[in-house]
Amino acid sequence: MLKYFATFEVFFEENLSKLFLHFKSYSLTPDIYLIDWIFTLYSRSLPLDLACRVWDVFCRDGEEFLFRTGLGILRLYEDILLQMDFIHIAQFLTKLPEDITSEKLFSCIAAIQMQNSTKKWTQVFASVMKDIKEGDKNSSPALKS
């Protein structure tokens, strides 16, 4: 999962740099919120109708969409999250507001660019895998000690 977190952070920093830095200032790492979102396919954090829509697109587009959804959620609530501290962010991301609409969420998901420079999700993930195999843990923020 660390490899996925590292790849997620590359796109997090690229798409939501201000929020990324805010999370970093509190040492808030993706494992705190993302593991629950991914392992439950968002069924614990999103209303069921929205989770079902996420599942549909995940089945069509693959695992990249699960991470894109995570970034979409962060984008949707960016202004609110920037006002919170570590504890409140962690609590908020564990159970998202029930009044979230599919239009707003999917609009935010669509705005997320899953391309870093000239590399797509799969290429960045492959690069992270290669770096880990070579023992270069400094190339990814999630893998830094």
The candidate with the shortest Cα–Cα distance to 78, out of 39, 111, 45, is 111
Answer whether residue 19 shows pLDDT above 90: yes
81-126 pLDDT, tens digit each? 999 999 999 999 988 999 999 999 999 999 998 876 677 867 777 7
Global confidence as pTM: 0.83
Tokens for 41? 């396919």
Please return the burial class of 66, using the count of CB atoms within 10 Å of its CB with bins 0-12, 13-18 and 19+: buried
Answer whether residue 145 shows pLDDT above 80: no
Q: How high is the pLDDT of residue 7?
A: 87
CATH fold of 1-126: Cyclin A; domain 1 (1.10.472)
Secondary structure E strands in 69-134: 115-116, 119-120
Measure CA 24 to chain center: 14
27-70 pLDDT, tens digit each? 999 999 999 999 999 999 999 999 999 999 999 999 999 999 99
Output the CA–CA distances (angstroms, integers) from residue 130 to 55, 136, 143, in the order listed.
29, 9, 13
Domain ranges, ordered by start, for the chain: 1-126
